[in-house]
Amino acid sequence: MPFPSASVIRRLFRRRSTRVTSEGLQFLIFTLAIGIAAINTGNNLFYLLLAMMLSLILVSGILAEYCLRRLELHRHLPDLLFVNESITAILAVKNRKARLASFSLTMCDVSDDHDVSSRLEVRYLAPGNSRLLSYPLTPTRRGKLQLDGVRVSTEFPFGLFTKKAFYPIEETVTVCPEIQPLDESLLRGLFAAGHEQSVHRRGHGSDLYNLRLYHAGDDSRSIHWPTTARTSQLIIRETEAEEQRRAVIHVPTTAPDSHDAVFEQAVSVAASLIQHLTYQGYGLQLLVGSERSSFGQGEAHSLELLRMLALCERRVPTTEFLSSHESVDPPIEDGAAGALILVQSWRGPGDEKAEHPLVMIDGEMILGGAHAV
């Protein structure tokens, strides 16, 4: 028979565990002392007291087990979390037992055998009843937040032992980088770069580009009726091509271990830029390492980009990589794709000590971009 692996044993122990409380320890010491006295003297009344103490321990274990049994737990979390941004999670706990109530329940989320949330206390849950518990959850790291389950514990009925049960409710939530207010100088730099990049062209879009006379073949839906009425001539409304408000955000992922904190800052800056530019109506493309998103606009697209940032990983530079200079020459295919915003955490082998990421727009370093946030 094969010996069960360590993970199996750990899982088994994770399902149920018991810890002696300080009061329980004193109780056990007294029980031991009475047991010794009973054996030493043979006094049956000492045995009676010993039996009482042992029965209280047994009853304690049985009742605690019943308290933790047949609970149903559901956790409700938002789809996307942000680092250091507190959200309200909701835990629904239902007592599925037909007759017995559960007492003194304490619950908390567990991730990788560690408690990751506040402890939630429910002192009484009647049979068949449920309770919604809300609690703040503040992730501290971007990436995938893996919640393995909920650990429920109780000290009922006598407070001698803390019995814990693990209810597996696996849930994975993406934690996006922290969104921070951008530095004023960076915003000014972005504004200036936007103007330089702005080439007004006719095309599909929503902003007004020009008004002109109607020519045969023009789309009748483009007729600008107020002007037509005023001038008694058919006037066509031309719009400004939207692709003129595009930006490409490039976040090189190559950085040595010493630049890990700066890399995280760079990712945070990029996320903040995405958020800001999305509000400004920009079409955005994100380059993270070798990954490239499509151009897009709007809230859904920005969330997609934030997810990419949430999951990107820093790569330690190798010799081959250094020769390729990936971070210096971003693979931009179309020169007309819009402003190229580079958020760089490591400039190359010469950059040994950096405190802030570098932000460059179209190859020009933005004043204040070195401490963008």
Partner 1 sequence: MPFDQALRLTSILLASASFIGLMVGTGLPEWLAALTGMALIVVLLRSVGISSVDHLVMRVPISATGWNLVVIGGFLGFWVDLLWVSEELLPAGIHFLMLLMVIKLFNLKFRRDYLHLYAISLVAILASGSLTTDLWFFPIFTLYLLAGVWTLLLFQLTKSSEATGSFTIPRTIPHDAQDGFDRVTPHLFWIGNGLAIGAFLMTLVIFFTIPRLSAGFYQKGVGENLRTSGFSDTVNLGAIGPIKRAPSIVMRVELSGRPLRNGGPLYIRGVSFDRYDGKAWTNRLSHRRSLREETAGTFVLRGKRSTVSLQSGETIQQKILLEPLDTPVLFAAPFVESVSGPFPNLLSDVTGSVYLPFPSASRIEYTVVSRSTPLVPADFSSEAGLYPESFASYFLQIPHESERVGALARELTHATRGAYEKVNAIQIYLTHNYRYSLDAPLAEQDHPLEEFLFTRKTGYCEHYATAMVILLRMVGIPARLVTGFLATEWNEYGNYYVVRQQDAHAWVEVHLPHSGWIPMDPTPPILEGAGDGNPAWTVLGRVLDNVRLQWNRFFVQYSAADQFAVVQELKAGSTSVRNKALDSMTSLVSAFTAILGGIITQDVSRVRIGFLGKTFGSVLIGLAVLLWLGMRQPWAGRSPGEKRSRQDQAMANLYGRMLTYLSRQGIAKPTAMAPIEFVGIIRARWSAANAHVASITGLYCQARFGHIPLTQEELQRANDDLHRLMSLQKL
Smaller CB distance to partner 1: residue 120 or 310?
Answer: 120
Residues 52/56/61/64 CA torsion (nearest 10 deg)? 160
SS (H, E, C) 51-117: HHHHHHHHHHHHHHHHHHCCEEEEEECCCEEECCCCEEEEEEEEECCCCCCEEEEEEEEEECCEECC
Nearer to partner 1, 68 or 359 (CB): 68
List residues binding partner 1 (CB under 8 A).
Answer: 23, 26, 30, 34, 37-52, 54-56, 58-59, 63, 94-96, 98, 101, 103-104, 106, 118-124, 126-131, 133, 135, 155-160
CB of 30 to partner 1, least distance (A): 6
Place of tokens 């088994």: 12
Distance of CA 65 to the CA centre of its chain: 34
User: Which residue's CB is nearer to partner 1, number 20 or number 229?
Assistant: 20
Q: Minimum distance from CB of 71 to partner 1 (Å)?
A: 12
52 versus 322: smaller Cβ distance to partner 1: 52
Amino acid symbol at 318: T
Omega of the bond prior to 2 within 30 degrees of 0, cis? no
Output the smallest distance, CB 199 to partner 1, in A. 55
CA 88 → CA 138, 167, 236, distances in Å? Answer: 9, 21, 51
Tokens linked to 285 = 């493309």
Task: Please state the closest distance from residue 156 (CB atom) to partner 1, in A.
Answer: 6
Minimum CB separation from partner 1 for residue 178, in Å?
Answer: 22
Gap between the Cα atoms of 214 and 28, Å rounded: 96
Q: Shortest approach of partner 1 to residue 129 CB, angstroms?
A: 7
Q: Which is nearer to partner 1, 61 or 330 (CB)?
A: 61
Which residues make Cβ contacts (< 8 Å) with residue 51, sequence separation at least 6?
Answer: none
Find the shortest distance in angstroms from Cβ 96 to partner 1: 6
Give the shortest CB-140-to-partner 1 separation in angstroms.
15
SS3 18: strand
Pair type for strands 364-365 and 358-361 = antiparallel
Nearer to partner 1, 160 or 358 (CB): 160
Looking at beta carbons only, is 134 or 231 nearer to partner 1? 134
Residue with smaller CB distance to partner 1, 19 or 201 = 19
Residues in the chain: 373
For residue 368, give the DSSP letter. Answer: T
Nearer to partner 1, 50 or 273 (CB): 50
Return the sign of the alpha-carbon dihedral for residues 28, 30, 33, 39. Answer: negative
> What is the closest distance, in whole angstroms, from the C-beta atom of residue 151 to partner 1 in the complex?
13
| Residue 24 or 317 having the CB closest to partner 1 | 24
Q: Where are the beta strands (DSSP E) in 177-259?
A: 208-213, 235-239, 246-251
Burial code of 224-240, b = ≥16 C-beta within 10 A, e = fewer? beeebeeeeeebbbbeb
Least gap, CB of 167 to partner 1 (angstroms): 16
Q: Which of 72, 78, 137, 70 is nearest to 110 (CA)?
A: 137
